[in-house]
Amino acid sequence: MNFDKVFVLTDDNTYKCCLPVIKDVESVKDATVITIPSGDDNKNLESVSHVWQELSRGGATRHSLLVNVGGGVVTDLGGFAAGTFKRGIRYINIPTTLLSMVDASVGGKTGINFEGLKNEIGVFCDPMRVILDTQFLKTLDTNNFLSGYAEMLKHGLLSKSDMLDELLAYDMDKMDLDLLDKMIKRSIGVKKSFVKRDPHEKNIRKALNLGHTVGHAFESFAMEQKSPVLHGYAVAWGIICELYLSVAYFKFPSELMHRVVKFITEHYGKMNISCDDYERLFEYMTHDKKNMGDKIQFTLLSNIGSVRINRTITKEQIFESLDFYRDGQ
């Protein structure tokens, strides 16, 4: 591919741990490296402004390329920076975390957090390529591995195959990378099938928001409390609440819900919330991008792979799901 200049975006961690893996590759060995602070709390206007400034200082044109090497923060923010700089330059994602491999780097969603809300500002802008290599996962810590695994669980729930059973049975202690490689491909395949049918999330792509209406509320609430949690943990907890609502509204199999909830509780623990926090969590849900007017809309299931999008749930039922999250199972 022909570009006048190549830039590589990393964060503090991937600069040290992941950039050395690709630094001698011919196409990027002379690239200008841009680095942002790591962590979701740095997925903000200040960081994206820094990227724009460095692209400008480096002489980037509309014929330049940005290569994003990192997790979801880097691929989301880097994609947004590329999609908006000079009205759009091309970019490639090289995801280095499981979360980014199976979710953030695929599908063309880019963005940053704003005013305490997750991914509040962003654009749809597809990368030219997404390059996956599980060797990056060898240095990934357990918490970040589990964060990505939660999105794979979501994909398993959205798939009509035996994928969910395989995910619930995977041995986290032995970490079979060859098997994981196959599971990642299957997981990405589920996401791509929805994205291909609905690139800009007007309809069925909303299925991929399973667990995210409540999950993003957990995530934003934790950020507000100055105790941030990893995205996948919040999504896993959101799945608990939304499977409860799926059982209540659409007769999702109760036994299967309990299997998934048991797996999530054993591996992800729970956020410590009380009834006094429900109103604030509900307030965060009212800002969800899927909503129509003042109606909070959920993605729920009637069975594995049987999706019900745009479902309006009452405040009382939402609070019941939070009760189940705290006390049930």
8-21 tens-digit pLDDT: 999 999 999 999 99
Cα 251 → chain centroid: 27
* The pLDDT of residue 329: 58
**pTM recorded for the entire structure:** 0.89
Calpha distance 142→158 (Å, rounded): 24
Calpha distance 295→51 (Å, rounded): 36
Query: Residues with Cβ < 8 Å from 48, sequence gap 6 or more?
Result: 77, 80, 81, 112
| CATH, domain range 142-327 | 1.20.1090.10
CATH 3.40.50.1970 domain residues, the chain: 6-139
CATH 1.20.1090.10 domain residues, the chain: 142-327
**Cβ atoms of residues 277 and 205 within 8 Å:** no
Share in percent of the chain as helix, strand, coil (round to 5): 55, 15, 30
**Cβ atoms of residues 275 and 130 within 8 Å:** no
Q: Looking at the predicted structure, is the pLDDT value of residue 294 above 80?
A: no
The architecture of the domain spanning 6-139 is 3-Layer(aba) Sandwich (3.40)
Residue whose entry in the numeric block shows the structure tokens 């291909």: 196
* Span 211-252, pLDDT tens digits: 999 999 999 999 999 999 999 999 999 999 999 999 999 999
In three state form, how does the secondary structure of 288-314 look? Answer: CCCCECCECEEEEEEECCEEEEEEECC
Instruction: Give CA torsion, residues 186, 188, 194, 198, to 10 deg.
Output: -150
Calpha distance 132→185 (Å, rounded): 10
Q: What is the mean pLDDT of residues 189-203?
A: 92
